[in-house]
Amino acid sequence: MSSQVAEKSFVTTFVALISALVLLAAVLFMVGALVGVVGNVAPDDGSRKQVAAVERIKPVARVAIAVPQPAGAELKLSGQEVYNKVCMACHATGAAGAPKVGAKDQWEPRFAQGMDTLVKNAVNGIRGMPAKGGNPALSEVNIKDAVTYMLGETGIKTDTAN
């Protein structure tokens, strides 16, 4: 081996060694920085970071898919809600000759027909009373709840107390 070749090989080895040391230092520095960061943050910071991350990566837009209501599906409304939305228009004032809520004398002869008949007439409509109060989305249960509510407000007790 000539001295020139030996020198070259030494330089190569030296450069490789220095590179490895620099790399190691860099890795150690990064590990240290990481440990420092992890050690410095408050314990609850993770959740805040996570929230921030979730906020950053959340989809720009959402696609809302309306689930079609199967025909006759019950609207989740209480009797009072159905009354307020639909029945009140006529039954609060007695418009078109509707029996007025609170007028016991107007309701008692009707109630004498029986609850089932009242509900059936309200569902199918009778004279000035439109079928389901004009809202076909309502179910029979909605109608029954509303009739029960109206009777209750009038002071007539039904067996289905709700």
Residues of this chain that interact with ligand HEC (CB under 6 A) are 82, 86-87, 89-91, 95-99, 110, 113, 117-118, 121-122, 126-130, 132-134, 138, 143, 146-147
CA distance 162 to 158: 9
One-letter identity of residue 111: F
CB of 111 to ligand HEC, least distance (A): 9
Give the Å distances, CA to CA, from 134 to 5, 64, 80, 82, 122: 103, 29, 17, 12, 10
CB of 140 to ligand HEC, least distance (A): 10
The string over 83-97, giving b where at least 16 C-beta atoms fall within 10 Å of a residue's C-beta and e elsewhere, is: bebbbbebbbeeeee
Q: Which residue has the tokens 């009739």?
A: 147
Q: Between residues 18 and 95, which has the closer beta carbon with respect to ligand HEC?
A: 95
Q: Between residues 51 and 96, which has the closer beta carbon with respect to ligand HEC?
A: 96
Q: Are 147 and 118 in contact (CB under 8 A)?
A: yes
CB of 161 to ligand HEC, least distance (A): 17
CB of 90 to ligand HEC, least distance (A): 3
CB of 64 to ligand HEC, least distance (A): 29
Distance of alpha carbon 44 from the chain centroid: 28
Q: Between residues 31 and 73, which has the closer beta carbon with respect to ligand HEC?
A: 73
Q: Between residues 27 and 139, which has the closer beta carbon with respect to ligand HEC?
A: 139
Q: What is the CA radius of gyration of the chain?
A: 39
Q: Between residues 32 and 125, which has the closer beta carbon with respect to ligand HEC?
A: 125
CA distance 122 to 99: 12
